[in-house]
Chains A and B, each alone.
Chain A
Amino acid sequence: MSTTTASRGSGKLPRIRHGIPEVFVTIFLVMLALLIILPLFLPWMFVFKTQLEYAYHPWAIPLKLHFENFTEAWTAVQIGQGLINTLIVCIGAIACSVPASALAGYVFARYRSRATEILFYAVLIGYFVPVQMVLIPLYKMNLKIGLADSLIGLILPMAAFNIPFWTLIYRSFFQSLPGELADAARIDGAGHSGTFFLIMLPLASPATVLSCLLIFIGAWSDYLLSLIMLNNQNLFTMQLRVAQFLNAYGTDRMPRYAAAAIISAAPTVILYILGHRWIIRGTLAGALKE
């Protein structure tokens, strides 16, 4: 059933070839996509090379595959521990940010009054704060409330950074939904929360899918906040492990650093590609149908 919804765009409608033909548009899109993909393949040109081969011929086809860069990076990144910590942070960030943003965004979109408008800005100002500025007060705050050096002490501030942004996005999604649906539900006797959970939230599922995905990716990639909030090495996330390869001279062994970077980025990329089918389905299912 979901496959039929997924192909809705092309299936139901006749293709129209007015204006620029579809072939040209497709070629244009493919070329842009190549521009995006090609740089991602650059590290693969030398991760299997020795340092000297890289220094002389970074872009030549590798003659012999050296896997040492990967094995060394693998040991150093300690993917097991790092992966678990990273996953906890990602899921924690989603669990803390998404419900709070969805609820607030809904109210700011559908219950507009002077008071909610002020509250909206009270939430939104969190988005205007550059993270480098608040590291010291945040860390002091964590020390004060006893959350320093724990994953929860990273997840909660991270959520505070995510919520303003996603509240804004949710608000825009809820605003674009037709009001009649909510009114109809209300007339049917559904209360405020019933209308939200049963009618409006499912309709805004593109926003939910988007926020879960992007918060996950953001938490996965976070470096600065994690670096400051976590002291215990057993709590280190994968990005912190990878950063250990960096020294004042850039990185002493580029092929190995690139291997570590690939190892740390691979899970999100794979997850994203695998999850994408589901994401599109979710997005389409959320689109309005009669």
Chain B
Amino acid sequence: MGDIAATTGNAAAGRAAGSARGKPRDWKRTVFIALCVLPALGFLAVFMYYPIEETFRISLMHSSGLGGETWAGFDNYVRLFANPEFLAGLLHVFSWAFWSILIQLPLAFLIAFSLTFYVNKTTGPLRVVYYLANILPSAITAMLGKFVFSPNNGILSSIATKLHWTWLSNIDFFGDPKIAFWTVFIVATWTYTGFPIIYLMARIEQIPTEIREAAELDGAVGWRYAWHIVLPLVIYPMQILAVLCTVGSLKLFDLPYMLTTGGPGNATVTLGITLYRQGFINWQYGKAAAIGVVIFLLSLAFTIAQFSWQKREGDSR
């Protein structure tokens, strides 16, 4: 059972297989690695590394983005940390990542496991449904979110008014700074949970039937099977999803921007929104680049931390 989930054992085997065969083999191996990595690196080299380098360079400049750059040193960064919008964005990004890992991932596991374990006439077609919300472009998702939560014409407030549910019709989903974040988060959960579900489903279905049969003989059935057998097997995919959640939160832009423009006040502002507003609306391209660098470095730091933790875990197993 361990071998299917083992993350480093196989790789170690691959390494051993490669190196044990002497020099000519080694040369072939290197060529193969190079050929495999080349296309991916080629794309990135042309279309990513130059923009990344530009971002780092401009973050040290005063620039409106229209040319005419002057050296700023770390001035843009220093000012960022005195900018309440940026600080609010930073805070929201972390709480967003925290809550998506805490809510979206367990929910996704629950749904993915149920859909793969309880296969019957109803759950079969349901598999189609769960990714449906993720297919739509975010402009449409935002539009649907407004139809649901708008105070005047939204379906919730319309129903609440009709039924005289004042507790519901009194909630200002977008305008109350304490609630707006959660409104946006609900809309995001509605659409973004599709990917973890479909990904975990694919991973759970990779589990060989023998494991399930063996587990049943041992008496691990139903939710005990989910908890003791399946969850440990998908813990590595879950970690990858956690990385994706974190980096996704750091970059988060279009959905909250289209729903609330980051408001009211700074209640739903994210780093992505601050970046866009600084770069494209305020013409502070240097500051926007500094935010881009912050997003980049934080993503890198979290990913490295996550992967090295996972590697240690893998080695100790």
Interface string of B20-43 (1 = CB under 8 A from A): 000000001100110111011111
Q: Tell me, yes or no, whether B169 is within 8 Å of chain A by CB.
A: no
Q: Can you pick out 6 interface pairs between chain A and chain B where the beta carbons lie within 8 Å of each other?
A: A9-B117, A35-B190, A130-B272, A159-B43, A192-B29, A265-B136
Contact of B46 among A141, A222, A257 (CB under 8 A): A141
State whether the Cβ of A215 lies closer than 8 Å to any Cβ in chain B.
Answer: no
Given contacts A26-B123, A176-B5, contact A104 B111 (CB under 8 A): no
Contact yes or no, A22 B118, CB < 8 A: yes
CA gap between A33 and B223 in the complex, in Å: 21
Q: B276, A100: Cβ atoms under 8 Å?
A: no
Cβ–Cβ contact A126 & B44, under 8 A? yes
Establish whether residues A179 and B14, one from each chain, have CB atoms under 8 Å apart when the complex forms: yes
**Interface pick from B78-86, B97-105, B208-216:** B208-216
Is residue A79 within 8 Å, beta carbon to beta carbon, of the partner chain?
Answer: no
Chain A residues whose C-beta falls within 8 Å of the C-beta of B137 in the assembled complex: 220-223, 239, 264-265
CA distance A208 to B48 in the complex (A): 24
Contact A107 B37 (CB under 8 A): yes
Which segment, of B69-77, B177-185, B294-302, faces chain A?
B294-302
B163 at the interface (CB under 8 A from A): no
In the complex, chain B residues 166-193 whose Cβ is within 8 Å of any chain A Cβ: 190
User: In the complex, which of the residues B135, B236, B271, B280 contacts A176, with contact meaning CB atoms closer than 8 Å?
Assistant: B236
Q: B126 touching A33 by the CB < 8 A rule?
A: yes
Contact A58 B240 (CB under 8 A): no
Convert A161-196 into 0s and 1s, putting 1 for each residue whose CB lies closer than 8 angstroms to a CB of B: 001110111001101111110110010000111001
Q: Is A8 a contact of B209 with CB atoms below 8 Å?
A: yes
Judged by a CB distance under 8 angstroms, whether B60 is at the interface is no
Specify the chain B residue showing the minimal Cβ separation from A112. B11
**Residue A138 interfacial (CB < 8 Å):** yes
Do residues B276 and A107 form an inter-chain contact, with CB atoms below 8 A? no
B-side interface residues toward A, CB under 8 Å? Answer: 3-5, 7-15, 17-18, 28-29, 32-33, 35-37, 39-44, 46-48, 50-52, 54-55, 65, 111, 114-120, 122-123, 126-140, 143-145, 147-148, 153, 155, 158, 190, 195, 198-199, 201-203, 205-209, 212-213, 216, 221-224, 236-237, 240, 243-244, 247, 250-251, 253-254, 271-272, 275-276, 279-280, 285, 288-289, 291-292, 295-296, 299-300, 303-304
Pairwise interchain contact B118-A103, C-beta atoms closer than 8 A: no
Complex Cα distance A136/B283, Å? 13
Contact across chains for A10 and B119 when beta carbons are under 8 A apart: yes
Measured in the bound complex, the distance between the Cα atoms of B203 and A168 in whole Å is 14
Chain B residues with CB below 8 A from A110, complex form:
10-11, 14
Question: In the complex, which of the residues B35, B43, B127, B144 contacts A160, with contact meaning CB atoms closer than 8 Å?
Answer: B43
**Contacting pair B7 A175 (CB below 8 A):** yes
Residues from chain A with Cβ under 8 Å of B32 in the complex: 107, 111, 191-193
- Which 9 pairs show the lowest CB-CB distances between chains A and B? A179-B10, A19-B222, A134-B51, A221-B137, A128-B299, A133-B292, A160-B47, A100-B39, A104-B40
Q: A111-B33, A130-B272, A172-B240 are in contact. Are A177 and B138 (CB under 8 A)?
A: no
Given A128-B299, A130-B253, A283-B202, do A178 and B10 touch, yes or no (CB 8 Å)? yes
Closest to B39 in A: A100
Q: Mark A124-150, 1 if CB is under 8 A from B, else 0.
A: 111111111110111001000100000
Query: Which of A133, A178, A242 lies at the interface centre, i.e. has the most chain B CB atoms within 10 A of its CB?
Result: A133
Do the beta carbons of B37 and A40 come within 8 Å of each other?
A: no
- Set A119, A133, A186, A286: member contacting B206, Cβ < 8 A: A286
Contact B155 A59 (CB under 8 A): yes
Q: Is the interface of A mostly helix, strand, loop or mixed?
A: helix
Closest B residue to A30 by CB, please name it.
B122
Interchain CB contact (< 8 A) of B135 among A164, A168, A172, A268? A268
Contact string, A251-279, partner B, CB cutoff 8 A, digits 1/0?
00000011001001100110011001000
| B206 contact set on A, CB distance < 8 A | 173, 176, 206, 286-288
Residues in B neighbouring A76, C-beta threshold 8 A:
none
- Contact between chains at A243 and B139 (CB < 8 Å): yes
Q: Is the CB of A7 within 8 A of B223?
A: no
User: B4 touching A178 by the CB < 8 A rule?
Assistant: yes
Known: A29-B111, A29-B122. A160 touches B46 (CB 8 A): yes
Q: Are B143 and A258 in contact (CB under 8 A)?
A: yes
With A9-B116, A116-B37, A182-B14 known, 10 other A-B pairs at CB within 8 A are A10-B120, A36-B130, A37-B129, A42-B147, A129-B48, A168-B243, A180-B3, A283-B201, A283-B202, A287-B206
Give the chain A neighbours of B138 by CB distance below 8 A. Answer: 221, 223
Minimum CB–CB distance from B118 to chain A (whole Å) comes to 5
Known contacts A111-B29, A134-B52, A210-B198; A18/B222 CB under 8 A: yes
Partner of B139, one of A9, A261, A272: A261
Contacts of B143 in A (CB 8 A): 43, 257-258, 261
| Bound CA–CA A246/B243 (angstroms) | 34
CB contact between B41 and one of A122, A131, A136 (< 8 Å): that residue: A122
Question: A65 on the interface (CB 8 Å rule)?
Answer: no
Contact of A157 with B by CB under 8 A: yes
A235 at the interface (CB under 8 A from B): no
Least CB distance from B165 to A in Å reads: 15
Bound CA span A33–B197, Å: 12
A-side contacts of B28, CB under 8 Å? 191-192
With contact pairs A29-B111, A265-B136 given, residues A112 and B36 touching in the complex (Cβ less than 8 Å): no
CB contacts (< 8 Å) of A124 on chain B: these are 303
Q: Does A214 sit at the interface, judged by CB under 8 A?
A: yes
Knowing A28-B114, A160-B46, A169-B240 touch, does A33 contact B51 (C-beta < 8 A)?
no
